[in-house]
Amino acid sequence: RKWGKKKLRSMLPYLIKKYTIKSTQPKTFDVIMPSADELQDEIDALNAQITKQGSLVRELKKQSSSNAEDIASAVEQLKKLKIEAETLRKQKEVADPTKAFNRKVFDELILRKMFIVPSFEIHGGVKGLFDLGPPACALKAAMVDVWRKHFVLAESMLEMECTCLTPEVVLKTSGHVERFTDLMVKDPVSGECFRADKLLEDVIDELLEANPDMPNEEREEHLRVQRQADAFSPAELDEQLAKYGCKAPSGEPYGSSFPFNLMFKTSIGPEGTSVGYLRPETAQGLFVNFRRLLDANSQKMPFAAAQIGLGFRNGKCY
């Protein structure tokens, strides 16, 4: 009051400096960490991106017009997403250790509660075949109901239910008979088969892990071979397996790689003259019914069609 506003403003820096209490304690800052639920939301979003990026990588590898640089860039982006997701998973475990995933306990739980059980268990079972128990059947029915309401009803899709048995002519036209294959190699002693491209990928991973100081140029060359593993011809794949010294569990070199069709082949009718396959995917039934679906939609374009069902693939189960 005595000084007046003008003088007080001029004296303010001096007063602040004079009457400020200096602390000898180090400054601390509160860091707000996201909760476990928030981290899970981020992980779910990243998983969706990983699935999409993985599909892109597979498409690029299938296309003969794709160059190595495009594939390398897509694979690198996929790796970055996976690393980011793994980092978030570790942060989530730190944020809430009680929610850390325990695979052993999880497997025991789903077996004990009969969510999923090995098929034909009393006869020794078969790798890759499982039965859904009562809880899983109820969960599946609920998921299908949500899916149908979200897509078929809300989006006015045309739903179909097509047969699981497909005549050979359909799958010849689509290219599945010739190209729906994996390259396999066989242990000459035991006769056990293995996916050749996976063996090549694994042996390159082992090589890179064993040589962390490998020059970048050499490392990139190995990674380029690894990225192209499922695009090599049988002769090229045999050459690469020999180059990296891949050996069968028996210690002998693998036999020559050969194409193995992933579809289950059967015959239609008692004569056995009509060849068929269990459908490898659910889309074919919709494709071949396109004209009738268009008629059902009053010749209006565009329209969407949907189907829920089983697809059958005969592959190597580990």
If DSSP states are collapsed to H, E and C, what string results for the chain?
A: CCCHHHHHHHHHHHHHHHHCCCCCCCCCCCCCCCCHHHHHHHHHHHHHHHHHHHHHHHHHHHCCCCCHHHHHHHHHHHHHHHHHHHHHHHHHHHHCHHHCCCHHHHHHHHHHCCCEEECCHHHCCCCCCEEECHHHHHHHHHHHHHHHHHHHHCCCCEEECCCCEEEHHHHHHHCHHHHCEEEEEECCCCCCEEEHHHHHHHHHHHHHHHCCCCCHHHHHHHHHHHHCHHHCCHHHHHHHHHHCCCECCCCCECCCCEEEECCCEEEECCCCCEEEEECCCCHHHHHHCHHHHHHHCCCCCCCCEEECCCCCCCCCCC
What percentage of the chain reaches a pLDDT higher than 70? 87
C-alpha 278/C-alpha 291 separation (Å) is 23
Whether residue 296 has pLDDT greater than 70: yes
Residue 226 predicted with pLDDT over 70: yes
So what's the pLDDT on residue 255? 92
Instruction: Scan for tokens 């509660």, then name that residue.
Output: 113
pLDDT number for residue 74:
86
What phi, psi does 131 have (nearest 5°)?
Answer: -110, 145
CA distance 187 to 254: 5
Asked if residues 162 and 285 have their Cβ atoms less than 8 Å apart, the reply is: yes
Q: Output the average pLDDT for the chain.
A: 86
pLDDT at 300: 93
Range from 132-146, 198-212, 219-233 that averages highest in pLDDT? 132-146
User: What pLDDT shows up at residue 219?
Assistant: 87
Side-chain-side CA neighbours of residue 89 (13 Å): 12
Under 8 Å between Cβ of 225 and 246: no
pTM above 0.85, yes or no: no
Q: What is the mean pLDDT of residues 232-245?
A: 92
* pLDDT tens-place string over residues 139-162: 999 999 999 999 999 999 999 999
Which residue, 309, 306, 290, is CA-closest to 148? Answer: 306
Contact between residue 114 and residue 134 where contact means Cβ atoms under 8 Å apart: yes
Strands 165-167 and 193-195: unpaired
**Closest by Cα among 207, 211, 182 to 197:** 182
> Which of these, 292, 251, 184, 227, lies nearest to 73 by C-alpha position?
227
Greatest mean pLDDT among 206-210, 246-250, 275-279 lies in 275-279
**Rg (alpha carbons) of the chain, rounded to whole number:** 30
Average pLDDT over every residue of 276-294: 93
Share above pLDDT 90 across residues of the chain, in percent, rounded to a whole number = 48
Name the pLDDT band for 1 (thresholds 50, 70, 90).
low
Query: What integer is the mean pLDDT of 101-118?
Result: 91
Question: Does the pLDDT at position 23 exceed 70?
Answer: no
Which phi and psi angles does 165 have, rounded to 5°?
Answer: -100, 130
pLDDT of residue 241: 93
Tokens of 152: 């078929």
The answer to whether the beta carbons of residues 286 and 163 sit under 8 Å apart is: no
Spatial neighbors of 296 by CB under 8 A, at least 6 apart, are 158
pLDDT of residue 12: 63
